[in-house]
Amino acid sequence: MLTAKQQQLLAYIKTHLEQGGVSPSFEEMKEALDLKSKSGIHRLISALEERGFIRRLPNRARALEIMKLPDGMEAAQSRGASVTPLRKPSPPQASLPIAANDVVEIPLHGRIAAGLPIEAMEGQTMLPVPAALLGSGDHYALEVSGDSMIEAGILDGDFALIQRAETAREGQIVVALIDENEATLKYYRRDGARVRLDPANGAYEPQVYEPGQVRIQGRLAGLLRRYH
């Protein structure tokens, strides 16, 4: 069952596609639902995607496809009734590119070591991120400190974009919380009954822990890099 806002957004996307053949931008969706930030739209889209109502077409930031509609919405539209009053979608412009530069804001939770573990969650500001870099689910960002993941292309000062998760597959890069105190960004591997966190730098040794010492806080979804 969808929330009222999820159903409103789904109805708006459907109407926009029918009228212009192009998915609405995050800014248009934010204004249509009268939300204060585009991060709220990102969460709604992720929820609709996880429930199978929409899907994002690959390699196109502004390409959404309606997969199904809730029963109540289908019945209302078959009678010619509107589902929920929304602002009329703005007419599509021929010059507007489909691969748009939509940006969402995700929490920035301080710095995380790519070398020795350090405390991860030091506070919170918001980091603007291109929506195309994020898939489904909830995300946050951490600023990388250290050089132990340089062979994986993760440099000191990069912003690691993390999808919240409590599990990981062998070989994935994860945020691992050690002894409920310190966090690190490493490859996740099993070493018998224990957990091994591998660096991507030959100058550093793997870190091996008992399973109860390690808690997965997320998986690496992407990177942002600043050039000075």
Q: Of 23, 25, 46, 148, which is the active-site residue?
A: 148
Q: What is the pLDDT of residues 107-120, one digit of tens each?
A: 888 888 766 554 45
In the prediction, which pLDDT does 81 show?
A: 38
Provide CB contacts within 8 A for 3, sequence distance 6+. 47
Predicted confidence band of residue 167 (pLDDT cuts 50, 70, 90):
very high
Q: Regarding predicted confidence, which is higher, 98 or 54? A: 54
Q: What is the pLDDT of residues 188-209, one digit of tens each?
A: 999 999 999 999 999 999 999 9
Burial 9-34 (b: 16+ CB within 10 A, else e): bbbbbbbbbeebebbbbbebbbbbbe
Check if 25 is active-site.
no
Predicted confidence band of residue 80 (pLDDT cuts 50, 70, 90):
very low
Helix axes 71-78, 4-20, angle to 10 degrees: 50
Longest dimension (CA), the chain: 68
Check if 14 is active-site.
no
- The whole-chain average pLDDT of the chain stands at 79
- CATH superfamily, with its number, for domain 106-224: Umud Fragment, subunit A (2.10.109.10)
Q: What is the pLDDT of residues 207-219, one digit of tens each?
A: 999 999 999 999 9
At the topology level of CATH, where does 4-78 sit?
A: Arc Repressor Mutant, subunit A (1.10.10)
**Residue 30: what are its φ and ψ, rounded to 5°?**
-60, -45
> Which whole number is the average pLDDT over 69-91?
51
Domain ranges of the chain: 4-78, 106-224
